[in-house]
Amino acid sequence: MTLTGNNSIIHLRLAPSKEPPQTLHGETFFTVLELKFQRNGLFLLDEPEAALSPQRQLAFLMLLHDVLRKHNDAQFIISTHSPVLLGYPEAQILSFDGEQLHEIRYEETAPMQIVRRFVNHRDRFLEELFGDTPMLFGEKRD
């Protein structure tokens, strides 16, 4: 594993290793994040939830909260599909859907709408998903 970066932007690059991992990928990833976030800076993260369980995503929210409280000049730009990470209080959520970049509320995000619909109406959701003409996201699938 190699870490590269400067004072304002962090780039994390994981190099392949010939040795078997001593810890799970998500645990290693989270440990690296904890170590790198101990200062001010601009942190760019691309779908960090891919390496984190739902419980670890909650721990990640706590880590973000702690970093932002301790370091006034820390900023995070996070590309995510996780309704957990999107739910950070007072986060500015930008959507790339449509022709123009625009700000949306948490409740308007597709990940939140899908999870809410699945949790609240799981049987109907799965019936539609596996049916002859499922209605995903309000549109009929051919």
> Which tens digit of pLDDT belongs to each residue from 54-111?
999 999 999 999 999 999 999 999 999 999 999 999 999 999 888 899 999 999 999 9
Residues 6+ apart with CB under 8 A from 66: none
Mean pLDDT of 28-57: 87
The whole-chain average pLDDT of the chain stands at 80
From start to end of 6-118, where are the E strands?
A: 9-13, 41-46, 74-79, 93-95, 102-104
Give the span between the Cα atoms of 27 and 49, in whole angstroms: 12
Could you tell me the pTM of the whole model?
0.71
pLDDT for residue 24 is more than 60: no
Measure the CA–CA gap between 20 and 60, rounded to whole angstroms: 25
SS3 111: helix
